[in-house]
Amino acid sequence: MAYTLEGSTGTWEIVCGLEVHAQVISRSKLFSGASAAYGAEPNSQVSFVDAAFPGMLPVPNAECVAQAVRTGLGLNAQINLWSRFDRKNYFYADLPQGYQISQFEHPIVGTGVVEVTLADGSVKQIGVTRLHLEQDAGKSLHDQDPTRSFIDLNRSGVALMEIVSEPDIRSPEEAGAYLTKLRQILRYLGTCDGNMDEGSMRADVNVSVRKAGEGFRTRCEVKNVNSIRFVMMAVEAEAKRQIALWEDGGEVVQETRLFDPTRNETRSMRSKEDAHDYRYFPDPDLLPLVLDPDWVAQLKATLPELPDAKTARFMRDYGLSPYDARILVMEQASADFYERLATGRDAKQAANWMMGDFYAGLNRTGRSIETSPISADGLGELLDLIADSTINGRIAKEVLEAMIDTGERASVIVDQKGLRQVTDTGAIDAAVDKVLAANADKVAQYKAGAEKLFGFFVGQVMKAMAGKGNPALVNEALKAKLS
Ligand code: ADP
Ligand code: MG
């Protein structure tokens, strides 16, 4: 079902394209040897190149170039063996060079595609227009002093990938799904940590609206949105604003806007600048970037297995549903955890325990797979105790909770708490006799045809055995005695 918005003049469709800035994972900056690490003392990671001292020359960082190529390969995109760095000229206090080194006409990566799965199970391809490398600017700090602003140049010169999508996105959900998938691919590739809180990934959200069958109308660009949820909210808020404007007889003018999440609205920041406003020209300090096809092939050969391929393999090898496979593949760490857990065990049962009680326990204690007190082998030991009938499933839930709280091994908890399942038929028969004797009225009803009461008897016997009875044996004993 296509997503639409209703206005007073009829039905509207959203058109949206995203420009994502993703900070490259690398030890040093794009054109200097200064550290690119996050969170250091202001201005402690600034080389003469980053501070634009006269006469300093940029030297391309091969690792940043490799990261851009890996990302292009991961997006099934065209790798351009010949690309070029251009100067994008503008003046701002946090830009000491007076220009940003970027790639304008000849980006390192051309068209690609990102495949997203929506909530209704449908699959959609979102086109990638291009990916180019560029420098980040410094940061202005306005909240350190009442009358002055400070500049931190640590970020100046850090490598960014700008990944531009085609205007293929048609709903807030699709915008969220695209960003989620893109972030997942970059994290799998190890080319960007995708940490939106720290600003290592941020999106410019381009939005227009149109009536069915129309060409594109004028768009607005909502700058620097820093969470996936805010991107989805911004798409909707901006589309609604434009619809109201068109229907009011007004006209959308192309401009740059900001999203205010607390008021759920966008507001104008500045009129849109065009490419010619930046006076782009080839950077005379840098040669064109020429890549060796063998080097590209080598990068391709060493790419990790990516989410789509892994999802397909999990469905094939472990018999998982598409939904379960996608959840487990969400993060590399959860996929690795699952594979270790499922190997040599009932794969479906492993998935159920991992996504059910195990994830619930992590949630309850505010932890993630990375900080889990239980390893895959530890959870596996619990599943083995169920498989060899040492404990039953109900007791296993209790053991798992204790494992999460204490970090203790499953077998140790089972022994400490005396939770071993009772398979001794003598003990089970005794418990059954006791329950039936204490509920003579219910036994009579059961025998008169109230078969629903069987569950009641099972519950009572289990209770009498502190939950430790083997469920199959308890059922068997009850059936025998009640017939
Ligand atoms: P610029 O470089 O000026 O920002 P681009 O042509 O590179 O412009 O487009 C930037 C983004 O805007 C792309 O993600 C593209 O998909 C999107 N876009 C282009 N036209 C429209 C439109 N009419 N409505 C919504 N998004 C659009
Ligand atoms: Mg733009």
Contacting residues for 410 by C-beta, under 8 A, at least 6 apart: 378, 381, 382, 385, 399, 400, 403
Determine if ligand 1 sits within 6 Å of the CB of residue 443.
no
Structure tokens at 245: 């404007």
Which residue among 171, 204, 219, 273 is best mutated to probe the pocket of ligand 1, counting the most ligand atoms within 8 A of its Cβ?
A: 219
| Nearest by Cα to 280 from 403, 99, 45, 417 | 99
Q: What percent of the chain has pLDDT over 90?
A: 88
Tell which one of 12, 18, 19, 130 to mutate to probe ligand 1, the residue whose CB is within 8 A of the most ligand atoms.
19
pLDDT top residue among 277 and 185: 185
The band of 421, judged by pLDDT with boundaries at 50, 70 and 90, is confident
CA distance 46 to 43: 6
Tell me, what's the pLDDT at 270? 82
Taking residues 177-182, report their average pLDDT: 98
Q: Is the CB of 16 under 6 A from ligand 1?
A: yes
Q: What pLDDT digit, counting tens, does each position of 150-162 carry?
A: 999 999 999 999 9
Q: Summarize pLDDT for 66-83 with one digit per residue, the tens.
A: 999 999 999 999 999 999
In this predicted model, what pLDDT tens digit does every residue of 299-343 receive, in sequence order?
Answer: 999 999 999 999 999 999 999 999 999 999 999 999 999 999 999
pLDDT mean over 98-105: 97
- Per domain, the residue ranges of the chain are 5-298, 307-417, 425-482
| 25-34, 133-142, 167-176, 389-398: range with lowest mean pLDDT | 389-398
Tokens of 480: 């025998």
The answer to whether the predicted template modeling score (pTM) of the entire model surpasses 0.95 is no
Helices (H), 260-306: 293-301
Give the pLDDT of residue 420. 87
Fold classification of 425-482 (topology level): Arc Repressor Mutant, subunit A (1.10.10)
pLDDT of residue 423: 85
Q: How far does the centroid of ligand 2 lie from the alpha carbon of residue 56, in Å? A: 29
Alpha carbon distance 154, 338 (integer Å): 39
What is the SS3 assignment for 76? coil
- Ligand positioned closest to the Cα atom of 273: 1
Task: Return the pLDDT at 456.
Answer: 93
> Does ligand 1 lie within 6 Å of residue 167's CB atom?
yes
Q: How confident is the model at residue 411 (pLDDT cuts 50, 70, 90)?
A: very high
Q: What is the pLDDT of residue 148?
A: 96
What CA–CA distance (Å, rounded) separates 373 from 367?
9
Q: What is the pLDDT of residues 395-405, one digit of tens each?
A: 999 999 999 99
319 lines ligand 1 (CB under 6 A): no
